[in-house]
Amino acid sequence: MSADYLAQSGIKVDVYDAMPSVGRKFLMAGKGGMNITHAESYADFLMRYGPRQNDIAPLLNAFTPSELRKWIHGLDIETFVGSSGRVFPTDMKAAPLLRAWLHRLRNSGVNFHVRHRWCGWDENGVLRFDTPLGASILNANVTVLALGGGSWPQLGSDAAWVPLLAQRGIDIAPLRPANCGFDITWSTHFRERFRGEPLKSVSATFGDIHKQGECIITENGVEGGLIYAFSAALRDEIERSGCAILNLDLLPDWTVQRVNNEIYHPRGSRSLSSHLQSRLGLKGVKANLLREILGVQNFNDMSYLSNAIKSLPLKLISARPLSEAISSAGGVKFEALDEHLMLRNMPGVFCAGEMLDWEAPTGGYLLSACFASGRAAGKGVARWLSKQLPVSF
């Protein structure tokens, strides 16, 4: 995005990427459907950025979700709003968008250099790279660092930049997993029998957060869209207290009274499992999750069972590792940057994207802020260059 803005402004841009091709994490983000942004009210949209809302808001105000859609349309890629309010390209894919974007960038004079891993600066402040042909240096007028967080390191965002900036005195919040799964101590039987099974049509509550959706039982615990919506709060609670209790409602469309009526309905000679299936539709992973959490004695206690169906406590003991997370929290603190995303103690060096200290849930919020911060850094670079090199770029 920085290169896009600068190239359109007539500024010569070179993009260096450590990977064999560019945009690998962008392509991964579109693997299940390229969710670009969200069409909910802008006030609600901004609230998704939590404690860093005030830092992200100026970037998004300058490049709103609607402006992002217009920008994509300028690449001859149409978009649509899904039933959940999420915005997608019409074909749901990331690759056509990336191809069109790279084509425009190259036609605008942007040069791409792949397999060039940035290794920091030398003693004279010159950029250092490790390349297939050996060490290389570059003396640039200005630098934009868009190095990603620490999730999906195999795609390039391996957080190797953290010590390089830290040794320059840049204030960096520790990288932590965001939009991640969590560990639960399953029994061997439950883990082996139900890993990979989806929990559909459930809702979850943690504190004052309540969401409905679905998640997946994993070998180690739970993950999925419903869990990701709570991940920041759950992660923080585990760090404070050592665990977090997430309450699941296995029948969110049923009232407590209706559950009680069916639980206590005479079942005759039928087993409790048959009773739950016929009267409440609880079977498979849901029924066995009740057994797993409650234990045999409480599962057979109608009072315990009825309460658990509407509020089943899952004890989460740890977040999954950062490398498995969809995104990461932490990074270069906004306090280390000026309003144009330039490092205060390193003039001419800008930072953008996931390497900044912010986080957001899935749903288009991550990409929206990355797009907006990249554009903001590009505008900051143009402003900086106009002051440093007023005659010519």
- The answer on 206 and 257 residing in a single domain is yes
Q: Which tens digit of pLDDT belongs to each residue from 181-233?
A: 999 999 999 999 999 999 999 999 999 999 999 999 999 999 999 999 999 99
Q: In the predicted model, is pLDDT for residue 392 greater than 60?
A: no
Residues 227 and 263 in one domain: yes
State the total domains in the chain: 2
User: Is residue 92, in this structure, part of any structural domain at all?
Assistant: yes
Percent above pLDDT 70 for the chain: 99
The answer on 304 and 228 residing in a single domain is: yes
Confidence of residue 393 (pLDDT cuts 50, 70, 90): very low
Query: Within a domain: residue 57?
Result: yes
Cα–Cα distance measured from residue 65 to residue 169, given in angstroms and rounded to the nearest whole number? 34
Question: What per-residue confidence (pLDDT) applies to 206?
Answer: 97
Q: What is the mean pLDDT of the chain?
A: 95
Same domain, 233 and 155: no
The pLDDT assigned to 388 comes to 82
Mean of pLDDT values over 281-285:
96
The rounded percent of the chain whose pLDDT value lies above 90 is 95
Element (H, E) at 50: none
User: How many CB atoms are located within 10 Å of the residue 344 CB?
Assistant: 11
Q: What is the pTM of this model?
A: 0.92
We report the CATH number of the domain holding residue 160 as 3.50.50.60
Only one residue has tokens 């860093």, namely: 52
Of the residues 300, 319, 338, which one is the last residue of a structural domain?
A: 319
Q: Name the residue range of residue 219's domain.
A: 182-319
pLDDT at res. 389: 67
Q: Looking at the structure, do residues 147 and 203 belong to the same domain, yes or no?
A: no
Residues 347 and 213 placed together within one structural domain of the fold? no
Q: 218 and 157 in one domain?
A: no
Q: What's the pLDDT tens digit per position in 290-329?
A: 999 999 999 999 999 999 999 999 999 999 999 999 999 9
pLDDT for residue 307: 96
Contacts 24+ apart (CB under 8 A), 303-311: 305/263, 306/256, 306/259, 306/260, 306/263, 306/264, 309/249, 309/250, 309/251, 309/259, 309/263, 309/280, 309/282, 310/249, 310/250, 310/251, 310/254, 310/256, 310/259, 311/205, 311/247, 311/248, 311/249
Spatial separation of the C-alpha atoms in residues 317 and 305, rounded to whole Å: 23
Helix (H) or strand (E) holding 167: none
Residues 159 and 276 in one domain: no
Would you tell me how many other CB atoms lie within 10 Å of the CB of residue 10?
10
Whether residue 393 is contained in a domain is answered as no
Last residue of a domain, one of 285, 303, 319: 319
For residues 12 and 160, state if they share a domain. yes
End residue of a domain, out of 319, 339, 366: 319
Closest to 322 measured CA to CA, from 157, 174, 150: 150
pLDDT of residue 30: 82
Mean pLDDT of 83-110: 96
With 60 as the cut, is the pLDDT of residue 334 above it? yes
Q: Is there a single domain that holds both residue 39 and residue 129?
A: yes
Residues 160 and 187 placed together within one structural domain of the fold: no
Checking phi first, is residue 175 left (phi over 0); if not, alpha (psi -120 to 50) or beta? beta
Q: What pLDDT sits at residue 148?
A: 96
Cβ-contact 330, 197 below 8 angstroms: no
Query: What is the reported pLDDT for 68?
Result: 98
Q: Cα-flanking dihedrals φ and ψ of residue 83, to 5°?
A: -65, -25
Mean pLDDT of 235-239: 98
Whether residue 214 sits in one domain with residue 90: no
**Residue 88 located in a structural domain:** yes
